[in-house]
Amino acid sequence: MFPKLDPILHSELRLAVISILAGVEDADFSFIKKQTGATSGNLSVQIDKLCAAGYITVEKGFKGKMPRTTCRITEAGLQAFSNYVTALQEYLSAGK
């Protein structure tokens, strides 16, 4: 009746990150930080987890002389996000 919710996505900040990345080609650390309002430390950790899960890729380079971390959602990430939304609907709609 209640499907298991993907624990990687069932996290406020990670869900926000995936949600952002699902809508754009790619996004860098600073942009995601501004959009989410997260602290650097928290964001760094959660990005690592999404990366370890294979839901996003992280590319480190430079914009001029400043370091720049660019994130992009993967196919697996898009699929997981879609599954999560579907599963969650079971919970949200049960009270009807």
Judged by the rule CB under 8 A, the positions of this chain that interact with a copy of itself are: 1-2, 4-5, 10, 12, 15-16, 18-23, 35-37, 81, 85, 88, 91-92, 94-96
Residue 67 amino acid letter: P
How far apart CA 93 and CA 76 sit, in angstroms, is: 26
Residue 19 binds which one of DNA, a copy of itself, none, with CB within 5 to 8 A depending on kind? a copy of itself
Token pair 């999404």 in the structure block, residue: 50
Q: How far is the CB of 63 from DNA (least distance, A)?
A: 7
How far apart CA 32 and CA 44 sit, in angstroms, is: 11
Q: Which is nearer to DNA, 66 or 94 (CB)?
A: 66
